[in-house]
Amino acid sequence: MKIFLDTAETDVVRKHFKTGLIDGLTTNPTLIRKSGRKHEDVYQEFKDIGLTDISMEVIGNAENMISEGKRLHKKFGKVATIKVPCTRDGLLACRELANNNIKVNVTLIFSVAQALLASKAGAAYVSPFVGRVDDNSFGGLCLVKDIADVYTKHILTTQVLAASLRNVRDAAKAFQYGANIVTMPPKVFEGMYNHILTDAGLKQFDIDYAESIAE
Ligand code: G3P
């Protein structure tokens, strides 16, 4: 059971990494663009923070993705997981990179069929986009469950990395539905600590503790 953060904000990641609860990191071109920084500067900073699994997205045709994936792997070493889209070119790149012992995260997964092809192409991870499935009136968590079930049934080693999570409930449920890894925005991770009854219980314990030592 692994928790990844889905962000390119290095300061926020630095803070959360110190908790010892973060196992890895995913980025995408949109998140990197929002950070206003260069891709490789962001990856380098994550590596320096101590992250050991960083998804780095590549684009273009199969040839571009393969050469870029190999280059990033050479530059960043084992911490680099190359992220490719679930397209024909993406899966060709996945096969070639996997044959070279490079971990691949196949992203933009919206069906069990895509997850099966990605696994056959040697993906270490598949990333079903829970929130975006929900946005289109299908069940994002059901997709996670269906993929996890079929992988279990056929003893496939590809791990289900649930992505595009927008709230704490779905993040926790994704594990319940069989995800091996859940990547989430830092805000969702922060929300995982919270429960209104914990706050209420603690408030009373604090009062009673203070009273008991005053008595
Ligand atoms: O990193 C991919 C994914 O988590 C994107 O999430 O919220 O843009 O659908 P979102």
Reported as type and span, the H/E element at residue 19 is none
Mutate to test the pocket of ligand 1, among 28, 107, 125 (most ligand atoms within 8 A of CB): 28
Structure tokens at 193: 């600590």
Looking at residue 176, its amino acid is: Q
Query: Model pTM?
Result: 0.96
Range of the structural domain that residue 32 is part of: 2-214
- C-alpha gyration radius of the chain: 19
Tokens at residue 161, please?
């990395």
- pLDDT tens, 115-145? 999 999 999 999 999 999 999 999 999 999 9
> What is the residue with the minimal CA distance to atom 3 of ligand 1?
164
Give tens-digit pLDDT for 189-207: 999 999 999 999 999 999 9
SS3 85: strand
What are the structure tokens assigned to 186, written together? 């830092």
Mean pLDDT score, 170-189: 98
DSSP per residue, 86-143: SSHHHHHHHHHHHHTT--EEEEEE-SHHHHHHHHHTT-SEEEEBHHHHHHTTS-HHHH
Say whether pLDDT at 215 is over 90. Answer: no
Q: Name residue 80's beta-bridge partners.
A: 54
For residue 76, the domain's CATH number is: 3.20.20.70
The yes-or-no verdict on residue 105 having pLDDT over 90 is yes
Q: How many residues does the chain have?
A: 215
Q: How many structural domains is the chain composed of? A: 1
Distance (Å) from CA 77 to ligand 1 centroid? 25
70, 83, 103, 173: the catalytic one is: 83
> What is the amino acid identity at position 26?
T
For residue 29, what pLDDT is reported?
95
